[in-house]
Amino acid sequence: MSDIQDVTAEVPARRQLRTKPFSLADRLFYGITKSASSISVILVAAILLFLLSQSFATFQTQGFDFITGSQWNNAKGHEVFQIGPMLWGSVLISILGIIGGVPMAIAAAYFIEFMAPKPIAKVATVLVDLLAAMPSIVIGLWGLYVLTPVVAHWGSLLYGLHHVSMGPVNFDIPIFAMSDGSVPSTFSGSPFIAGWIVAVMIVPIITSVTREIFSQMDRDLINSALALGGSRSSVFMRVILPTASGGVTGGVLLGLGRALGETVAIFYVLNLVSDINWFNILQSKGGSVASLVLQKFGEGTPNEIKALMAAGLVLFVLTLLVNWLAAVIVNRAQPWRKI
Amino acid sequence: MSQLDLTALPRPTKQPWQVRNPRNTWLVAGASVVPMFLAVVITLLTNIDATLATLLVFLPLQLIASIGVGQFIFGKKGRGDAILVIFTVFFSTLVGVLLVSVMFSVVVDGLKAMSPQFFGQNNHYISSTTSLEYGGVGHAILGTVLIVGLTTLFTIPLGILIAIYLTETRGRMRPTVRTLVQAISGLPSVVSGLFIYAFLIAPSFSAHGLTQQAGWVGSIALFPLMLPTVARIAEEALRLVPQELRNGAYALGAPAFKAFWQVTLPAAKSGLITAALLGVARIIGETAPLILTTAPSNDTNLNPFVGQIATLPTYLYGYINQVQATSQQRAWGAALVILILVFVLFTLARVLGSAKSTKAKKRK
Amino acid sequence: MENIATSASHLRSEDVNVWFGERHVLKNVSLNFPSNQVTALIGPSGCGKSTFLRTLNRMHELIPSAGFAGKVLLDGHDIYDHDVDPVDVRLNIGMVFQKPNPFPTMSIRENVLSGLKLTGRRGYNAAELVETSLRRASIWNEVKDRLNDPALSLSGGQQQRLCIARSLAMDPEVLLMDEPCSALDPGSTRRIEETITELSDSMTIVIVTHNMQQAQRVSHQTAFFLAEDGNPGRVVEFGKTDDVFNSPIDPRTNDYVNGHFG
């Protein structure tokens, strides 16, 4: 019954495999999940369309100055809507939050994963994850009454560095100066404080992501490097950081996206001024698109609401870009992990 | 680097950092204790600022001392390690202090406002100076439960259905849906609120707007914030169900729906509940969208479809910048209630999640 | 090696070709699986034998990007016909996988009955069916006192026999087994081989195996698959098991069955 296969013969044509289910239950099953998913598609389309259609008038009347200008006036006949200071303020506060938050988050993640005894690491992990889920209004309350006095004090110390001339030591640090050269009495309401609050908000998020990436790293690799005589620091710099850098960057960008859209946590902390504050981080003068929305919507004129929609659209596009970048980086660094 | 297989090499029986003798332990401890002592002494003598003393006296001295000790014990590599350890501990301590401070402040200040009537009473007849013996967040708790419950009612089925579509079907829209769900997760909460406000409340379509501020409008504004959380975590939960189980069901002749309903769903149940719980935790304290879409109320309103309604976050928001001490206490009290709710949701999710992971381990 | 009972169906593949995306992995496989015979599919890893097995009950198309050409005939009817529901095909052609995959949320009893529940069948005597199926899979004596225990409480070998019992409860005409013993200890392997021999009285069995001795012990006929240098896999030799192992026609078969490669 030996039967050698004829392999020289021609290959028959590919057959169309039916992909649609036969039974009614299956068709319903696929149909319902598909329509549910379509809702998400329609939802995003609707949000974008509505934001665009509402914003269009503003973009048309204000032109490019909408983004770069610094005036806001809703009086009929004199309407000017420009969000330059707010947009830059959001970015500045986020940058400050990142500068403050990233070293803290990476250190905390390293501490939890590689240094802390197990029980402490466990408690710390729970605490960090819990705080990552903490509503921003709670952080805002704490920021207003507990953190602000402390950070204002730090601000006053830094202010001392804006102009130093002690004998041979002479230098200026302009970011700690005031734009108008005035001497402030309090140091509240500044982007510096808002930046710290944002840092506290995003530290748990970045720590959580970073710790997870550290924990997924090959322990044998680290132990081998140590066993080969590598020191903790060289292993951290040469093995851990390079391996985890992609994922950590993704986590940082995720935090940045959150920071850009933050509203209530900094609303009462920041002194919202419609005049651009480029870098005087200690000055009681800042901006935030999200806070602008909250401040203006209540008594907003119809045109003003449209301008706020335009501002919201700009903010959304900005966070979309940041999140998209985060996804690209994380997927490239860790294909198995999707954010 | 990761391809290197170094396991064949003989390892020292003790890890390098376990090489400790009592003398070294004393040295390492001393490298931190002595600078701390010096910093305290200098602070007390010269009356300089504590922050400055920490940054300018304690930290540099500790660093120098530790580098010296590191060099002494471990040789050259000890120096780098000393720097790494000092900075890690410094920043971690800072993180610890900040995070513990958040919890501590909310719990301690919140407890001052706690009393049975704080949970049971509403804000009627309460002015900013009324004593804490009167009034509470009862109405706000009910409002939060109603609004979040309403959002949950339509968001969780929808989010889970999206997750099912992404994992259990071979639909052609999957990449699009996944990208868009991810995109919504980047929507700033205030923009979500503004969007619904402009759509339904502001006079965008008719002179008086389509509707007034009400609980259900708030529920809708919370929807885009909750959906991506639920969909993403539910997708992960479904992905954790091994493909072999589905294949086992298909090989028995099960139609896709039955295989999902009787095999995949029970296996992913705890993960899906976790998704729902974390979704609720995500929105329970959301403030900005509710400020835009609901009108705060001092009274209990059990109808989320008509009228003013209070919620915990907007209650807290209303008291946050009042100057009177009792008002601030009310804000802290509301914060504590929110914290407790988040904690409970979170703990439930963790317990379920860990139950799931032990099961997964057993299967191996 | 002829069997008396002929109640089972016979299965035949004609010029089966398989693609994953654009990659051609199986070329023109034509094999005949007569009723009540055990056919072993052997060959080195990656030769496409497991893939071929999965085309026999249309599990293959569950993989995205899977392509197929040719015919698979069950009692003369093409199971890939446009109006044939793959779900019905799998009802008649059962499958046992490499890794035991009992349903973790169900008890032992529920696992045996899971197929009937999943396909919505009614009107069976549950207790009787559970006992018969478990007996046929030779695991009844080990589990009869703990039918309500979770399936995961069983050992690996027991889990695999439970999976066989689960398939048997559906009373399939044909049973496909994809390296059913590769994850098991020798004792469990022997039990399962005995089971296979007993089952061939009532059904047609196709088994993929890496184990030459196993193929010789359990099968009536053997097909040797080979994929050379990036070419699609194909059948090099097919015939009675004795012939394939003791007097192979193709030298490559000889090399493989004598352990010279693979």
The reply to whether B158 falls in a domain is yes
Identify the CATH number of the domain in which residue A230 sits: 1.10.3720.10
Tell me the two tokens of residue B162: 């999206």
Phi, psi torsion values for A333, nearest 5 degrees: -75, -40
| Domain coverage including residue A315 | 87-333
Q: How far is Cα of residue A304 from the mean position of the Cα atoms in its chain?
A: 27
94-133 in C: which are within 8 Å (CB) of B? 94-95, 97, 99, 101-106, 114-115, 117-120
In angstroms, the separation between the Cα of residue A246 and the nearest Cα of chain C is: 29
Query: What is the C-alpha to C-alpha distance for residues A146 and A198, in angstroms, rounded to an integer?
Result: 14
Q: What pLDDT does residue A339 have?
A: 41
- In the listed set B67, B96, B111, which residue is the last one of a domain according to the structure? B111
For the four alpha carbons of A321, A323, A329 and A332, in that order, the dihedral sign comes to: negative
Between C110 and A329, residue with greater pLDDT: C110
Q: What pLDDT does residue B363 have?
A: 40
The reply to whether B306 falls in a domain is yes
Query: In a 3-state reduction of DSSP, which class is residue A272?
Result: strand
In angstroms, the separation between the Cα of residue A245 and the nearest Cα of chain B is: 15
Question: Which residues from chain A sit within 8 angstroms of residue B173, using beta carbons?
Answer: 34, 37-38, 41
Helix (H) or strand (E) holding C72: strand C66-74
Q: How confident is the model at residue C115 (pLDDT cuts 50, 70, 90)?
A: very high
Q: What pLDDT does residue B362 have?
A: 41
Is the same domain home to B294 and B335? yes
Q: What angle do CA B70, B72, B73 make, to 5 degrees?
A: 70
Q: Which of C27, C75, A65, C118 is nearest to B246 (CA)?
A: C118
Q: How many CB pairs under 8 A join B and C?
A: 82
The reply to whether B117 falls in a domain is no
Q: Does C224 have pLDDT greater than 50?
A: yes
Q: In chain C, whose CA is at the least distance from the CA of A11? A: C28
Share of chain C above pLDDT 70, in %: 97
Residues of chain A with pLDDT under 50: 1-3, 337-339
Identify the CATH number of the domain in which residue B147 sits: 1.10.3720.10
The reply to whether A44 falls in a domain is no
Question: Is the CB of residue B210 less than 8 Å from the CB of residue B305?
Answer: no
Rg of the Cα trace of chain A? 27
Question: Is the CB of residue C90 less than 8 Å from the CB of residue B252?
Answer: yes
- CB B307: neighbour CB atoms within 10 A? 15
The reply to whether A13 falls in a domain is no
Is the same domain home to B97 and B213? no
B74 Cβ under 8 Å from any chain A Cβ: yes
Query: What is the C-alpha to C-alpha distance for residues C123 and C186, in angstroms, rounded to an integer?
Result: 39
Between A306 and B130, residue with greater pLDDT: A306
In angstroms, the separation between the Cα of residue A63 and the nearest Cα of chain B is: 21
Every domain of chain C and the residues it spans:
11-257
Helix (H) or strand (E) holding C77: strand C77-78
The reply to whether A163 falls in a domain is yes
Phi, psi torsion values for B47, nearest 5 degrees: 65, 25
Structurally, chain B folds into a number of domains equal to 2
The reply to whether B342 falls in a domain is yes
Is the same domain home to B75 and B156? no
Q: What pLDDT does residue A177 have?
A: 85
Structurally, chain A folds into a number of domains equal to 1
Q: What pLDDT does residue A289 have?
A: 93
Strand partners, A211: none
The reply to whether A169 falls in a domain is yes
**Contact flag B80-A154 (C-beta cutoff 8 Å):** no
Give all strands (DSSP E) within B233-346, no chain letters: none
Question: Is the CB of residue A84 less than 8 Å from the CB of residue A331?
Answer: no
B343 Cβ under 8 Å from any chain A Cβ: yes
Is the same domain home to B175 and B33? no
Whose tokens are 């041979």? That residue is: A168
Q: What pLDDT does residue B148 have?
A: 97
Query: What is the C-alpha to C-alpha distance for residues C220 and C253, in angstroms, rounded to an integer?
Result: 17
CA B31 vs CA A233, B56, B66, B255: distances in Å: 18, 16, 5, 69
- In the listed set B61, B94, B111, which residue is the last one of a domain according to the structure? B111
Q: What pLDDT does residue B358 have?
A: 45
The reply to whether A116 falls in a domain is yes
Q: What is the DSSP letter of C79?
A: T
Q: What pLDDT does residue B20 have?
A: 58
Is the same domain home to B102 and B151? no
Between C40 and A251, residue with greater pLDDT: C40
The reply to whether B91 falls in a domain is yes
Q: What pLDDT does residue B5 have?
A: 53
Q: How confident is the model at residue B339 (pLDDT cuts 50, 70, 90)?
A: very high
Is the same domain home to B218 and B328? yes
Q: How confident is the model at residue B15 (pLDDT cuts 50, 70, 90)?
A: low
Is the same domain home to B45 and B157? no
The reply to whether B319 falls in a domain is yes
Q: Does B13 have pLDDT greater than 70?
A: no
Question: Is the CB of residue B363 less than 8 Å from the CB of residue C151?
Answer: no
Of A9, A11, A22, the CB nearest to C87: A22
**Contact flag A294-B288 (C-beta cutoff 8 Å):** yes
Is the same domain home to B146 and B89? no
Helix (H) or strand (E) holding B312: helix B312-319
In angstroms, the separation between the Cα of residue C121 and the nearest Cα of chain B is: 11
Q: Which ranges of chain C does DSSP label H, i.e. alpha helix?
A: 49-55, 86-92, 108-118, 126-136, 140-143, 156-168, 186-199, 212-218, 241-246, 251-257
Is the same domain home to B217 and B100? no
Q: Does C26 have pLDDT greater than 90?
A: yes
* Domain C11-257 -> CATH class: alpha beta
| Domain coverage including residue B287 | 138-363
**How large is the ipTM?**
0.90
Helix (H) or strand (E) holding B52: helix B50-52
**Contact flag C119-B253 (C-beta cutoff 8 Å):** yes
Q: How confident is the model at residue C3 (pLDDT cuts 50, 70, 90)?
A: very low
Mean per-residue pLDDT for C18-38?
Answer: 92
- The DSSP string of A99-167 is HHHHHHHHHHHHIIIIIS-HHHHHHHHHHHHHHHTS-HHHHHHHIIIIIHHHHHHHHHHHHTTSEEEET
Of A2, A16, A18, the CB nearest to C249: A2
**Contact flag C87-B251 (C-beta cutoff 8 Å):** no
Query: What is the C-alpha to C-alpha distance for residues B59 and B64, in angstroms, rounded to an integer?
Result: 9
Is the same domain home to B159 and B70? no
Mean per-residue pLDDT for B152-178?
Answer: 92
Task: Encode pLDDT of B201-259 as tens digits.
Answer: 887 777 777 888 899 999 999 999 999 999 999 999 999 999 999 999 999 999 999 99
Q: What pLDDT does residue B18 have?
A: 55
The reply to whether A339 falls in a domain is no
A136 Cβ under 8 Å from any chain B Cβ: yes
The answer for residues whose C-beta is within 8 angstroms of residue C135's C-beta and 6 or more apart is none
CA C188 vs CA C107, C136, C137, C181: distances in Å: 21, 15, 12, 8
Q: How confident is the model at residue C6 (pLDDT cuts 50, 70, 90)?
A: very low
Phi, psi torsion values for B65, nearest 5 degrees: -60, -40
Is the same domain home to B92 and B226? no
Is the same domain home to B267 and B332? yes
Q: What pLDDT does residue B96 have?
A: 93
For the four alpha carbons of A222, A223, A225 and A229, in that order, the dihedral sign comes to: positive
Q: What pLDDT does residue A191 have?
A: 93
Question: Which residues from chain B sit within 8 angstroms of residue A158, using beta carbons?
Answer: none
Q: In chain A, whose CA is at the least distance from the CA of B346? A: A130
Task: Encode pLDDT of A237-282 as tens digits.
Answer: 888 888 888 888 888 998 998 899 888 899 988 988 888 888 888 8
